[in-house]
Structure 1
Amino acid sequence: MSDFPFEHQELFDAVNDLVPAYQKNKIIEFIKLDTDDETEYDQIGLSLTGEKRETGLIVPTSAPKSSGGSIWSAIKAEIYDYMCTSSRKYSKERKEAGITIKQIITIIATAIASSFHIAVGVVTGAVTVALLSFFKIGKNAWCKINTPE
């Protein structure tokens, strides 16, 4: 997975195809910022999952620290499992030739959605941001920063 090619256009296409309309602009603006600061990814990820409240007229629908734990932490743990380990959970997906960013987002979002009993669309934006952080920061650094305790 370390040789997985990252292309901005492929990520933009995945956002347009997978992410709900109310999250698209925020994510596309964030992609264009071109940052490699992990805390910025965490802030937008927490915002997209509803675990960080933003001031405004829209009331988030998720509950912070739900009974299943933090959605954002679960997303990062799944990406860690997929990208940084050779666990059996994703062995079949890792072996697929020509896997795309869109497919990885879908795989991770589906795993998270089933764990938290929510719709896949609710987490695709946050999964996209977490995956973007993986590619921007780099595999070795991202895996080291996000190693589960």
Structure 2
Amino acid sequence: MKRASGFTLALVLACSAAPTIAAQPNASVLAKQLDDKGAKATVSGMSESEWDNVLTRIDSGNTAWVALAPKLAEGTDGGNSEDLGIGLAYALPKNPKAVLKAIDPNNGPVLGVRRVCSAPFIEDTVKDIPAYIRRAKAALRDVHDPALQNVRDACLAELAKP
């Protein structure tokens, strides 16, 4: 994804009336930007550090940030799309209910069950994949919301694949 230079981005942000993610790192600010500017403009307007900041919050399993993943996915391409699926995978054992709500019900390539629930980590970012899978499965088994049972069961099945 093409990124604006630091100076260009700083100039654009300084001239913009809308608050930035870096200035006010909270989910409601990002949600407003997504609503006002659209996903593509919001995501492409983020610096690498702002995007990393968003991913860190999604990775943490914070419900408000995880809930933004589907909207963000509408504006991602390439590496950013991959980042988002991996972010939800990191969040899965921490907040499975929020992640299940964010998973694409049509099983799309960015946030679908096959992506998020397949432990899609790059190289050695997760040192012990079997332990991660055990934690994720245990967390998923604690989700009893009837509206999430199908996606939960699909996620458990995906995690069970070799």
Same fold (TM over 0.5): no
Bigger-Rg structure (1/2): 2
Higher RCO, 1 vs 2 (CA within 8 Å, ≥6 residues apart) = 1
Q: Using structure 2 for the length normalisation, give the TM-score.
A: 0.22
Q: Using structure 1 for the length normalisation, give the TM-score.
A: 0.23
